[in-house]
Structure 1
């Protein structure tokens, strides 16, 4: 019961963050609460994201919050995509299926970044592919925890 509730709560948080990320892409500003939360975590520290140097000083509170929300959105969208693909009947092999799904998601992530290289105003970064693939691994882990818990519940 506890595992089920925790996985569902975590996925709801991910869905919320992915939704906020989509809204920021179409021009909606994140709530002041989220701006304060993210900027209080980062404070005045600088951090590298590929070739970019990000901080509250360089990007402003709102710019840094937009960046963090978009990356969290990417992470969770690729996590959801992985979970969705794992539920499709792609192969009967329980060993090969996660590998196949990860290969499909990797292809999508690389293709997405490749296309962005040709869109004016967009950047194509290897770090974005890494965030997407970490999201995919997150989805694989959640799926395996969920399935293990669910199958142990059925056998007892």
Structure 2
């Protein structure tokens, strides 16, 4: 049962986060307080994303809102990566455990976006589902790669 606790905590955190409006979640005031000199503005000005039918850049959104966009998308990527790993750990060791963990993370991403659709000031986006699923795949690949290296190192020490 203990192996499900991280997954349940992550799902609860996602649900709470999706229940908040943009105004409740914005980190723009914090970014303005911590980065008054707009560090890396020139570098960030070179980045452009086409997202939800809009060009997202420093030019179109402003420095702090663009930085917030990057933070939000990184949060999606890494949170659902952690969910993928939590599902993977919770599942019994079977042949298709990796695939099942990715599918579970994707399903939770779809449910999360559906929940956001009904939250005031929030939007649902298939692009976030793709980002969330990508986070699960990438972090699971890293997790498995590290696991393989640790097992090989343990084998070498045993011999």
Tell me if both proteins adopt one fold, taking TM over 0.5 as the criterion: yes
Range with bigger deviation, 25-34 or 59-68: 25-34
Residues 35 and 101 from structure 1, CA distance in 2 versus in 1: closer, same or farther, beyond 3 angstroms? farther
2:3 is aligned to none
Structure 1 gaps, min length 5 = 1-21
How far the C-alpha of 1:32 sits from its partner, in A, is 0.8
Aligned-partner Cα distance in 2 for 1:122–1:34: 29
2:45 is aligned to 43
How far the C-alpha of 1:45 sits from its partner, in A, is 5.1
How far the C-alpha of 1:84 sits from its partner, in A, is 2.0
Aligned-partner Cα distance in 2 for 1:154–1:44: 45
1:75 is aligned to 77
> What per-residue deviation string (whole Å, max 9, x for no partner) do you get for residues 108-155 of structure 1?
001111111111210111111111011101111111111110110111
Range with bigger deviation, 59-68 or 40-49: 40-49
1:142 is aligned to 142
Aligned-partner Cα distance in 2 for 1:33–1:77: 28
Residues 35 and 116 from structure 1, CA distance in 2 versus in 1: closer, same or farther, beyond 3 angstroms? farther
What is the RMSD computed on CA atoms of the aligned residues? 2.3
**3-state secondary structure, aligned to 1:36:** coil
Residues 92 and 113 from structure 1, CA distance in 2 versus in 1: closer, same or farther, beyond 3 angstroms? same
* Contact kept in structure 2, 1:75 and 1:134, CA below 8 Å: yes
The structure whose Rg is larger is 2
Structure 2 gaps, min length 5 = 1-16, 18-23
- Residues paired across the two proteins, number: 131
Aligned-partner Cα distance in 2 for 1:109–1:35: 32
